[in-house]
Amino acid sequence: AQTVTQSQPEMSVQEAETVTLSCTYDTSESDYYLFWYKQPPSRQMILVIRQEAYKQQNATENRFSVNFQKAAKSFSLKISDSQLGDAAMYFCASSGSARQLTFGSGTQLTVLP
Amino acid sequence: KAGVTQTPRYLIKTRGQQVTLSCSPISGHRSVSWYQQTPGQGLQFLFEYFSETQRNKGNFPGRFSGRQFSNSRSEMNVSTLELGDSALYLCASSPGPLQGMNTEAFFGQGTRLTVV
Residue-wise DSSP of B28-65: T--EEEEEEEETTTEEEEEEEEETTEEEEE-S--TTEE
pLDDT of residue B72: 95
pLDDT of residue B103: 59
Instruction: Reply yes or no on whether the pLDDT at A70 is more than 90.
Output: yes
Residue A47 CB burial class (10 angstroms; 0-12, 13-18, ≥19):
middle
CA A8-A14-A16 angle, to 5 degrees, is: 120
Chain B residue closest to A96 (CA)?
B100
Instruction: Reply yes or no on whether the pLDDT at A36 is more than 90.
Output: yes
Q: Please judge whether A33 and B88 are an interchain contact, meaning their C-beta atoms are less than 8 angstroms apart.
A: no
pLDDT band at A39; cut points 50, 70, 90? very high
Sign of CA dihedral A23, B33, B109, B38: negative
pLDDT of residue B98: 62
Q: Please judge whether B42 and A104 are an interchain contact, meaning their C-beta atoms are less than 8 angstroms apart.
A: yes
Instruction: Reply yes or no on whether the pLDDT at B100 is more than 70.
Output: no
The mean per-residue pLDDT over the stretch B9-30 comes to 96
**Mutation for B interface: A38, A101, A105, most B CBs within 10 A:** A101
Contacts 24+ apart (CB under 8 A), B95-99: B95/B28, B95/B29, B95/B30, B95/B31, B96/B30, B96/B31, B96/B50, B97/A99, B97/B31, B97/B50, B97/B55, B98/A95, B98/A99, B98/A100, B98/B31, B98/B33, B98/B48, B98/B50, B98/B55, B98/B56, B99/A95, B99/A97, B99/A99
The mean per-residue pLDDT over the stretch B12-22 comes to 98
Residues of chain B contacting residue A27, judged by C-beta atoms under 8 Å apart? none
Nearest to B104 among A43, A50, A100 (CB): A50
* Count of C-beta atoms within a 10 Å radius of residue B44: 17
pLDDT of residue A45: 92
Q: Please judge whether B100 and A31 are an interchain contact, meaning their C-beta atoms are less than 8 angstroms apart.
A: yes
CA A37-A39-A41 angle, to 5 degrees, is: 170
Report yes or no: A108 at the B interface, CB cutoff 8 Å.
no
Closest-CA distance, B109 to chain A, in angstroms, reads: 4
Residues 24-53 of A with CB under 8 A from B: 31, 33, 35, 37, 42-47, 50, 52
pLDDT of residue A100: 86
Q: Return all residues near B57 (Cβ < 8 A) that are at least 6 apart.
A: B46, B47
Residues of chain A contacting residue B45, judged by C-beta atoms under 8 Å apart? 100-102
- Alpha carbons B67 and B47: distance in angstroms, whole number: 10
For residue A30, the Cα-to-chain-centroid distance in whole angstroms is 20
B73 in Cβ contact with B24 (< 8 Å):
yes
Instruction: Reply yes or no on whether the pLDDT at B58 is more than 80.
Output: yes
For chain B, give the mean pLDDT: 92
Residues 67-106 of B with CB under 8 A from A: 88, 90, 92, 97-101, 103-106
Instruction: Reply yes or no on whether the pLDDT at B102 is more than 60.
Output: no
The mean per-residue pLDDT over the stretch B38-62 comes to 93
pLDDT of residue A56: 83
pLDDT of residue B38: 96
Length of chain A: 113
Nearest to A99 among B97, B104, B112 (CB): B97
